[in-house]
Amino acid sequence: MHANYWLFGSNAGMYFPMGENPGVSTSNNMNTEKASMTHADAKGNLVLYSNGSRVWNANGNVVPGAENLIRAFDPSYPGLIVPIPEREDEFYIFSVDDFTGNNNPGTVSFPIFYSLIDLKGNAGEGQKIGETKMLLENSSYGLTTVKHCNNIDYWLILHSGEGNTFYSYLISKDGIQTDEPIESQLGIVFSGSSLGLPQEIIASQDGKKIAVTKPAHPEDGFLEVFSFDNRTGKVTSSLTSYNALKKIKGAAFSPNGALIYVSLYVNQRSQANNGLANDYELVQFRASYAPAYKRLITEKTFTGQSQQGLGDFLVEPGSFGNIKLGPNGKIYLAHIDDNFLSVINNPNGEGNGSNFSYRDFSLNGKFGKAQLPNTVSPSYKIPEAKLAFQPDSLACNPTLKVEVTNSDNTIFTYQWLRDGLAIDGANSEFLKIRETGNYEVEVMDNCQEVLSNNKTISITIEVPPPVNDAIFTYCQGAEIAPLEADGTNLKWYNDEALSNVISNNRTLTPNIDANSVGIKTFYVTKTISGCESIAAKYEIDIEQKEQVEFVNESLSPCFDSGFNIQLRLKDEPSSNINWFFNNTLVSNTKTFAADSYGTYVAQIGEGTCFSSDTIQVRDGCFRIFLPTAFSPNGDGINESLDLIANGNFTFDYQIIDRKGTIMAAQREQKYPGNRVQLWDGNYNGVPAPIGIYQYFLNARFDDEGGTTIKNQNGKISLLR
């Protein structure tokens, strides 16, 4: 409906009511030699029209602020009016400014600008919002839109003035993505002048093809057709091309996109009295990889008078101009300074089957010019999904099939639902029904999603399941027991759609990884008299066994001064831990600090799915003990003077008698971690006499806090 109004030329206009055959419109207050663009709303009502420099609203008034969008007063090349999706009354006006472009005969390219119009302003008259901005400086000045596959957004497609780069700009509710156009480099390289003729980009109605025309140079004028991905915005491949087409005046796809029509100026001949005769053709090509195909639809010769100093410039009323596909499925051909349009009544037909009518539509005295208006691409047909029973459906187990209409796609994905819930594994166009319920299916192509109509299925013969549903819980890594069911003609499945039979036995050994955490579901049915039962569901829930491990196997802190020590784990636990001290539960927290010597256990998990680790916390205080007496008399009790201590340290000692004789001594001795003998009670191999002896001990203990020194001396009694 967006193309239901065509306003162009010298106040000429057409209106296609409900997309049907047109009538003449008198709504056009615009008088333009070439460029025009129009836009109607979703109901087909006129909204805006423009020549690229000025913008008129539906009342025929120039929108305030939109009097001179670009420097060109009457631009030669048409732009586009594009609605901003989901933003009612806001529109972009894209304009080609041939006043400020590059007119070098070797390369002709012009900048494309865009402006924002808001129709809510000025009491509905509309207003221009902000400044006009440049979109692409060096363009081939052809532009078109393709509806995004979501049928909401638009792709605006441009081509570089030189080279072979396409630019696809996404226009969504967020506006136009000017900084991130999709670039595609392929096709014939643009170079050279078009001699002032319009370069065009056109799109097929299904959004799968685009075509570009380049009059004159290079290749002596060419047409090239490409495939287009309306999901990604990429121009993906070249389908076909036609060269040596001379001066192309316009091009249009057939409604089915299989054919493409081109209006051509092909030849000029001299006549008497400075007269000139120009030959024009309307030809038909195939828009595909098919072998070379060209059909002449019509040819006409127009005569006129050359003008002094302007070369072969020729005023030739009625000659061929642009062509455009209408919303009624017909293609219209403009005639320069003529008040009629020619019509291709059946554009999908090849050759004479296209049914061309010369000067068949009257503009009621208004004169069209070389160009018909540019409009946005139409929306796609909305696909529909319908459910139907298969002819061989049984009363107990009918089969549903989904059929998709109004879609050009051939590849779909499916998701069936029962009572509003997705059925696991039900992803084909068919579904066998085994139990009563309300069924629907989501059908998705690469971009769209549609819900089918619902069907409530009542099973007349409903066979009960062979067993009751059950859930079996295992700890990660545990051995999985076989599943069992009673009955005849059993079928085991691993999908809710019951499409993949994995066993017909009474027992099933689940083929699952016992270390893979999560719920694995299996289904089992029985069949009686050809009717398959409702499925029983077995769920195997493998719970994660979280590992807990201390950083250290043991610790030796000193708690004498009321300190405590954090028991550190290698990994942070996901939940609280049960902490045990000497087999007694003392805490349920993620962290724990010990303040007593003994055995600590950290345990995470519940039931049979838990893990634990143990750590010993030993007395690590620096302690030294020497007895006050010993008796080396051979009875095996207190036979030597022994040093008993805590910690690892280095020590010196000396034992002397009353006269100062050194009975035993040692320097830089390392304490081995258990008791160590200092003196056996002998002197030079002879038992020392009973009596009182003096000892001197110097111990040095090193830890993270530095060096601790202990000096100890005292008296020892040697007894026999």
Q: How far is CA 200 from CA 165, 213, 249, 441, 446, in A?
A: 14, 5, 9, 42, 29
Name the 3-class secondary structure at 365. coil
Q: What is the pLDDT of residues 116-129, one digit of tens each?
A: 999 999 999 999 99
Average pLDDT over residues 621-627: 86
Backbone angles phi and psi of 122, in degrees to 5: 55, 50
**Band of pLDDT at residue 563, cut at 50, 70 and 90:** confident
Name the token pair of 168.
Answer: 């696809």
Look at residue 529 and tell me whether its pLDDT is greater than 90.
Answer: no
What pLDDT was estimated at residue 257? 95
pLDDT digits (tens, 9 = 90+) for 210-261: 999 988 777 788 999 999 999 999 999 999 999 999 889 999 999 999 999 9
Please state the rounded mean pLDDT for residues 679-684.
94
pTM of the predicted structure, to 2 decimals: 0.67
Q: What is the pLDDT of residue 394?
A: 60
pLDDT of 363 over the 60 cut: yes
Contact 415, 404 (CB under 8 A): no
Highest mean pLDDT range out of 314-328, 341-355, 440-454, 571-585?
Answer: 341-355
pLDDT score for 391: 63
| Overall size of the chain counted in residues | 720
Residues 141/101, Cβ–Cβ less than 8 Å: yes
pLDDT (0 to 100) of residue 383: 79
pLDDT of residue 229: 94
pLDDT of residue 309: 47
Round to whole Å and give the CA distance between 420 and 441: 10
- Of 185-199, 350-364, 445-459, the range with the highest mean pLDDT is 350-364
Please report, for residues 240, 441, 507, the alpha-carbon distance to residue 114 in angstroms, rounded to integers and kept in the order given: 32, 43, 71
**Region at 654 (left for phi over 0; alpha for psi -120 to 50; beta for the rest):** beta
Greatest mean pLDDT among 91-105, 381-395, 587-601:
587-601
d(C-alpha 111, C-alpha 141), whole Å: 7
Which of 408, 416, 285, 392 lies closest to 347 in space, CA to CA? 285
Please report, rounded to a whole number, the percentage of residues in the chain having pLDDT higher than 70.
95
pLDDT band at 377 (very low <50, low <70, confident <90, very high): very high
CA distances (Å), origin 361, targets 333, 403, 424, 620? 10, 41, 58, 107
* 3-class state of residue 143 by DSSP: strand
Residue 62 backbone phi and psi in degrees, to 5:
-70, 130
CA separation, residue 115 to residues 129, 131, 133 (Å): 8, 7, 7
Mean pLDDT of the chain: 89
CA-to-CA separations, 281 to 251, 424, 550, in angstroms, rounded: 12, 60, 89
Q: Which domains does the chain have, with CATH numbers?
A: 5-362 (2.130.10), 384-457 (2.60.40.10), 470-543 (2.60.40.10), 554-617 (2.60.40), 623-718 (2.60.40)
Q: Which two tokens stand for residue 572?
A: 């942070």
Render pLDDT for 44-83 as a digit per residue (tens, 0 to 9).
999 999 999 999 999 999 999 999 999 888 888 899 999 9
Write down the pLDDT at residue 310.
47
CA-based radius of gyration for the chain = 46
Spatial neighbors of 584 by CB under 8 A, at least 6 apart, are none
How high is the pLDDT of residue 705?
Answer: 67
367: β partners: 10
Mean pLDDT of 145-164: 93
Amino acid at 344: I
The top-scoring range by mean pLDDT among 98-102, 294-298, 526-530 is: 294-298
Assigned token pair, 248: 């192309």
Q: Which residues contact 452 (CB under 8 A, 6 or more apart)?
A: 385, 386, 387, 402, 440, 441, 442, 443
